[in-house]
Structure 1
Amino acid sequence: MKLLKLFIAILAISGFTNAAISQGGGPATRNYAKEADNLWKSGAYSEAAEAFKKASEKVNPKNSKARLKKAYYAYMSATCYKLLHEFPAAEQQFEKSILLKYQETEPKTYFYLAEMEMAQCKHDEAKENYKKYDKINPGDPITKVRIESCEKYKESTSGENMTKHKVTNVTKLNTTGFDYSTVMGPRGNEMYFSSSRPGSTGEGTDPITGQNFMDIWVSKIDRNDNWGQPTPLGKEINTIDSEGTMCFDGRGKTMWFTRCPVEDKMNIGCEIFMVEKKGKSWGEAKKLELKDHDTTHVGHPAVSQDGKTMIFASNMAGGYGGVDLWMTTYDKRNDEWSLPVNLGDGINTAGNDVFPTITKENELFYASDGLVGLGGLDIYKCSQIGEEMKWEKPTNIGYPLNSCRDDYSLIFTERGKVERGYISSNRNGSKGDHSQDIWDFYLPPILVDVDILVTDVETGEAIPDAKVVIVGSGGENYVMNTDASGRITMTEKPDGSRYIEPGGTWTIEVEGQPKQYFSASDKFSVADVQNNTRIIRELKVLPIHDVIRLPEVRYDLGRATLQVNDSVNSKDSLNYLFDLMTANPTIIVQLMAHTDSRGSNGANLALSQRRADSCVSYLVHEKGLDEARLVPKGMGETTPTTIYDISEAGDTTGTHKLTESYINGFKSKKAVFEGLHQKNRRTEGKILSYDYVPKQEGGDQ
């Protein structure tokens, strides 16, 4: 429940009843009690709180009647402190009334004590007192909600259940009084808000709050995001009564605001007023006819961008709880608002539902104490259903935007790409002990840094000045060159934006350089990134040599079929060549197949040609390479390979070409003999050209 003009009055009407207790009990008690009772009836809760407290202190509980009277005054003092949101003082007086057994007369004393404990984040203590009240009155839905809220508090304020928002007090705008319910002006550089700071139009203090009367103030923000000294709006809007909780239409030319009149020191029902801007000044404020009884309160207007729909808070008859949200639509032809319609139990609760905001996207945000939350008023979000002014069921926007205290009046601003805005709250850290303050919030962007390193796959050395293309699935395209250490670091752009934003996938490609190295590519995804992340990718490029060795392309003796078995898969090596040629789409490769020296030269030449053809057939028909990029050539036994790992042949000195005469020297070592012949039965690639033009889909080359 809210310590603000409109709802202090409502809560006093709807939430508490005076017990029928005589004002007798001795001269010293009678004066304080009578004074307190009169102050309570006039709505002067700040003074009434102290008067009831003194009245209780003066009573000697010499018998049960005196004890009940002492307990009653403590209870009423607590009630006033509660309405004023002076939670420690209210807690103390409720505890005193319970020690004096006032719960036997008013069982809800347990409930109110629990409310005060919950407002101070004492959720364990609050749960016990809610349970005591629930045992006496098991059918109360709000008590059930509160118990569940206490049980879920720790879970809701820790780990993954927390949002990543940062919330800070706007100290430049806040005072030790009430500063709340912000709204941005049409240009986005002005903030309008309600305040009880010194300088208000009304004289003296508000009898309800004990503070100055509330007015609407405005502050401008400069280019460095510093707020200027607030100034009050003119007398067209601010009067001797309290004004606040306003909104604008989409053009910023019309303002709706709440005014709570005081007549003969008695508060009557709050009203919603409308005022239009005439040039640089405001015209005459006009009251909207939304209620049929003077004691009914209406306030907290929120109007859609087109100015046709208003949602407001009221305790008018036909609601579901203390204060509900209602909707009315504007009839331009007749210049009037329709009969208000309750938003229903999908939005409203058995508690209080207040401070609505309608965003540009027609999302509804509002505050409620009738749903499972963290304590006090929490802010809830409702997404629009279709194109109509209807909304889905509310969801709690979470901690730390919500706290165990009252949190309400959320607005978003449009400064930069970061989600940011303002809320009002009396949470810990507010400027005064009982103040309502303006708080800034923003959602820090998730930062994705990318480090790319390009190295030579054979030597491990970094490759400087390598051209790298980084392409995002959203159409982003960056072309960069590695520095002297072979690195590219992608963090923040010169304009302050980020190279890589969360969401989507990215491809990194190192462009190959003719006669230096082949292209290489890699991918990474930031689609599910939830926290600041550093992506590290090393792309190893293959240097271009005269020959591309494909050591695992093997064939059985005298056959052209690719060898695929448990120990070797020749297709894997050809897949490597396929990937290489896909990453380097302009190269043409000659595939050279070799045989061992067994058999005639002519037979071996024909066999090797068939083997080269087998490789090309696999790459073209199974992998999909363009046949024009592959030139098969059978080499027969004309080019025996050279071995460098001599220990494999049993010879530890020099290098040897695997000629027939050399291999015949190992006939007595059958395994070595066959292994050396196998090395000659190989396939190699040779780059013939770097200027192949890929075919265009649906057309010719």
Structure 2
Amino acid sequence: MNRSRTLHFLLIIGFVLTGLSSSLAQNQLVQKGDRLYDNKEFAAATNYYEKHLENSEDIATKRKLANCYLQMQKDTEANYLLESIVSSSEVNAKDYLQYATLLKRVRNYEKAKIYFEKYAELVPEDKNISKLILSCDLINELQDDQLYSIKSISLNTPQSDFASGFYKNGLVFVSGRKNNTSNQVDGRTGEYFLDMYFSEKSGDNFLNPESFSNDFNTKYHEGPACFSANEKFIFFTRNKGTLNLEGKSELNIYTSRHNGRDWDKEEIFQFSGQSYSMGHPSISADGRHLYFISNMEGGYGGTDIYVCRKYGFSWSHPINCGPTINTDGNEMFPFIAEDGYLYFASDGHIGFGGLDIFKSIFEQNEWTYPVNLGPPFNSSKDDFGYLIQKNKEIGYFSSNRNGSDDIFEFIQNPEKIQSLNGLLIASDNKQALKDVEVTLMDNLSREKSTKTDGNGLFSFDIFKGKNYSFIVSKPGYKIKRILYFASSDSTELKQLNISMDTTHWVPFKGNIIDQFSARAVKDASIQIINQTYKSNSFCITDDYGDFEQEIDPSKTYDIIIQKEGYFTKVINSYQYQSAKFEQIELQKFSTNQNMELYGVEYDADSWKLKENTIAELNNLAGLLKVNPHISIEISGFTKQDKGRKENNLLCEQRAKVASEYIISKGITPNRIQYKSAGYNSGRSALVVKLTEAF
């Protein structure tokens, strides 16, 4: 009997120990997975989470495994898990948002909208959710009109491959394929660390790729890169794997010069190496603007697009491209084309899902609203890394629409191209008009410009089945906008005959002088913008500061006057009154220059903005808006001495509230600093110092 009881007791102990052992093993699986997950080694963490969930329904582990799948582009597996999670009684708002985002990525827009709306009910304060819901309705309007044909290029491998930049007669690209510089595998992706490669193009084919540079490619991640127009300078991204105080690995930009034989040793770009990331560089054709992404403080979301301007041998402090370009999501992979268009990828603007490719141009002193390129460039997956050659006939972009990141080549579909010819004549005598400026517009986006020849003729290659508009302009004639509607049949296009009515144009004359010295300002640029047609004309001041440009006196214009070293001046809604000679003053600036805001008023011990103060701050915001290359520091003062501590608290609050007001007017936060300056009976309550001025 005693033996039987002892045996029974031992069996119970055995079962308990087995259960404890099993539970301990399960916990160890989760702990190992969590360590890898926290280090963003998602591919490695997946194995432990999957084993744990074989015997568990733990929703926290399901959430982490679903995120691993999403990071690894395993949408089918992620969909299965998230569908289970949103059906659970433990579902939360973030689960709805993540599931809706995945559904949108796999093009199930109707179902995605349902779960975006579920999220909105729980988190109504999220300002971005209305845009996501709207995108599910609008995205079907962007259909593939087959104007471009795309193909996956031969350089692609099962690993990640994405385009980086044009170089010589070929392409520099980034790849996670097996390489000779690193035997390490990235735990986040399960691929080798990224390196840069070069492949020369022969005809329509790419030759075998080779390492771009054994000096640049290291055991860390390298790429993407860009090159100056003369290909003597390179800027490239490197992730050295070092962690910041938050445990995140940061990107840095490096640069090097080609000495005629080889590349010099790379140097870190002057604003890199800080407690934030900088990467994905793209330099303008004139070498004066370097665009890149960063998560530095003062942005709008995850990563924003910034620009540094070069004057002489100096680069300006990074300037955020502003809220028209940047969102509370991620903007990445900028590419500044030779025609001035900025192409970039974003998951914050309305798109198909994941990253989509957009374009914008800086004209009339501001960025135009970004245009989604639509299919075939954008899909429900991540699309990015857009590159296009000067003639716009061939280009590349990258996408993970087929599973892993691949490079795609696109060309204009020759079957969709046709020539549209036109003739400009005077309506009174039917004579052909030469030197008429003809601008082809596509959805208010300027596509091409040309001038009529001696016989009044012009020609554009356009896409079949697409609607356009034309703006025609010539001094002495009324400016016209002509709407062109595509024909429904495929017959050859007839010549477009356009007659222009004469009208009286007048010379807009003026003189630009320095505000303080009254000396002539030569080589100042005057941009005259017709408000009706948004067409531009330009002129430059001569050695005496004089300029002259013919305009239609019946129209209203915005005039932008620019000169390096001076504040940009904008004259809005200018209407011609008489033949008087306009004299316009420009104010010179210099770094560390102080500007007293004399109209600022505060009640004693108050930082509340009064009417006069708001007016002064509106003027300051206007100045910053038309001078995007300027950064400032606002100092707060008080004329009543209440002791150092109270003085500093009051003055800092005044400067802070003033800064926040200016930011609310659309000025990017990283352009404004503020501080307390304390008691000074002789100073204005707010003083502005130019901390950066190029």
Q: Confirm or deny a common fold (TM above 0.5).
A: yes
- 2:497 is matched with none
Q: Which amino acid aligns with 1:229?
A: N
What is the aligned counterpart of 2:181 among 201, 216, 219? Answer: 201
What is the aligned counterpart of 1:29 among 26, 31, 40? Answer: 26
Q: Which amino acid aligns with 2:332?
A: V
For residue 91 of structure 2, give the secondary structure of its aligned residue in structure 1: helix
1:375-405 CA-partner distances (Å, limit 9, x unpaired): 111111112214x6x5222111122211111
- The answer for unaligned runs of 5 or more in structure 1 is 1-22, 62-69, 451-471, 476-498, 505-524, 538-701
What is the aligned counterpart of 1:244 among 212, 223, 241? Answer: 223
Note if contact 2:419-2:462 (Cα within 8 Å) is conserved in structure 1: no
The reply to whether residue 288 of structure 1 matches residue 269 of structure 2 is yes
The reply to whether residue 121 of structure 1 matches residue 101 of structure 2 is no
CA displacement at 1:370 relative to structure 2: 0.7
CA displacement at 1:100 relative to structure 2: 3.5
1:251-304 CA-partner distances (Å, limit 9, x unpaired): 11111111011249976211111111122422211111325744x221111111
CA distance in 2, matches of 1:147, 1:527: 33
- 1:508 is matched with none
What is the aligned counterpart of 1:132 among 118, 122, 139? Answer: 118
CA displacement at 1:200 relative to structure 2: 4.8
The reply to whether residue 377 of structure 1 matches residue 355 of structure 2 is yes
CA distance in 2, matches of 1:314, 1:217: 24
CA displacement at 1:36 relative to structure 2: 0.7
- 1:269 is matched with 250
Rate the CA distance shift 1:40–1:474 in 2: closer, same or farther, 3 A: farther
CA distance in 1, matches of 2:387, 2:112: 31
CA displacement at 1:501 relative to structure 2: 5.8
Q: Which amino acid aligns with 2:239?
A: C
- 2:342 is matched with 364
C-alpha RMSD over aligned residues: 3.1
Rate the CA distance shift 1:526–1:255 in 2: closer, same or farther, 3 A: same
CA displacement at 1:56 relative to structure 2: 3.0
For residue 140 of structure 1, give the secondary structure of its aligned residue in structure 2: coil
What is the aligned counterpart of 2:79 among 88, 91, 96? Answer: 91
- 2:423 is matched with none
Q: How does 1:577-596 map to 2 (within 5 A)?
A: none
What is the aligned counterpart of 1:442 among 411, 417, 427? Answer: 411
The reply to whether residue 192 of structure 1 matches residue 185 of structure 2 is no
CA displacement at 1:331 relative to structure 2: 4.8
CA displacement at 1:138 relative to structure 2: 1.7
Note if contact 1:141-1:350 (Cα within 8 Å) is conserved in structure 2: no
- 1:310 is matched with 290
Rate the CA distance shift 1:178–1:530 in 2: closer, same or farther, 3 A: farther
CA displacement at 1:326 relative to structure 2: 1.3
CA displacement at 1:57 relative to structure 2: 3.0
CA distance in 1, matches of 2:329, 2:360: 17
Q: Which amino acid aligns with 1:183?
A: G
Note if contact 1:71-1:98 (Cα within 8 Å) is conserved in structure 2: no
For residue 359 of structure 2, give the secondary structure of its aligned residue in structure 1: strand
Count of aligned residue pairs for this structure pair = 422
The reply to whether residue 534 of structure 1 matches residue 514 of structure 2 is no
Q: Which amino acid aligns with 1:150?
A: C
- 2:148 is matched with 165
Higher share of residues assigned strand: 2
CA displacement at 1:114 relative to structure 2: 1.3
What is the aligned counterpart of 1:225 among 180, 188, 204? Answer: 204
Identity, % of aligned positions? 28
1:595-635 CA-partner distances (Å, limit 9, x unpaired): xxxxxxxxxxxxxxxxxxxxxxxxxxxxxxxxxxxxxxxxx
Note if contact 2:182-2:218 (Cα within 8 Å) is conserved in structure 1: yes
The reply to whether residue 175 of structure 1 matches residue 164 of structure 2 is no
CA distance in 1, matches of 2:319, 2:380: 31
Note if contact 1:374-1:404 (Cα within 8 Å) is conserved in structure 2: yes
- Bigger Rg over Cα: 1
- The answer for unaligned runs of 5 or more in structure 2 is 1-19, 421-431, 436-457, 464-481, 495-694
The reply to whether residue 405 of structure 1 matches residue 390 of structure 2 is no
Rate the CA distance shift 1:50–1:93 in 2: closer, same or farther, 3 A: farther
- 2:331 is matched with 353
Rate the CA distance shift 1:395–1:55 in 2: closer, same or farther, 3 A: same
For residue 174 of structure 2, give the secondary structure of its aligned residue in structure 1: strand
For residue 35 of structure 1, give the secondary structure of its aligned residue in structure 2: helix
CA displacement at 1:157 relative to structure 2: 2.1
CA displacement at 1:531 relative to structure 2: 8.0
For residue 258 of structure 2, give the secondary structure of its aligned residue in structure 1: strand
Q: Which amino acid aligns with 1:420?
A: I
Relative to the length of structure 1, the TM-score reads 0.56
Note if contact 2:163-2:171 (Cα within 8 Å) is conserved in structure 1: no
1:403-457 CA-partner distances (Å, limit 9, x unpaired): 111111111125xx66221111111xx3xx3x1010111222444499xxxxxxx
Q: How does 1:434-473 map to 2 (within 5 A)?
A: 435-445=404-414, 446-448=416-418
Relative to the length of structure 2, the TM-score reads 0.57
Rate the CA distance shift 1:34–1:355 in 2: closer, same or farther, 3 A: same
CA displacement at 1:145 relative to structure 2: 1.9
- 2:569 is matched with none
1:546-605 CA-partner distances (Å, limit 9, x unpaired): xxxxxxxxxxxxxxxxxxxxxxxxxxxxxxxxxxxxxxxxxxxxxxxxxxxxxxxxxxxx
Q: Which amino acid aligns with 2:238?
A: R
Q: Which amino acid aligns with 1:141?
A: K
Rate the CA distance shift 1:316–1:501 in 2: closer, same or farther, 3 A: closer
Q: Which amino acid aligns with 1:124?
A: E
Rate the CA distance shift 1:314–1:200 in 2: closer, same or farther, 3 A: farther
CA distance in 2, matches of 1:376, 1:503: 31
CA distance in 1, matches of 2:409, 2:187: 30
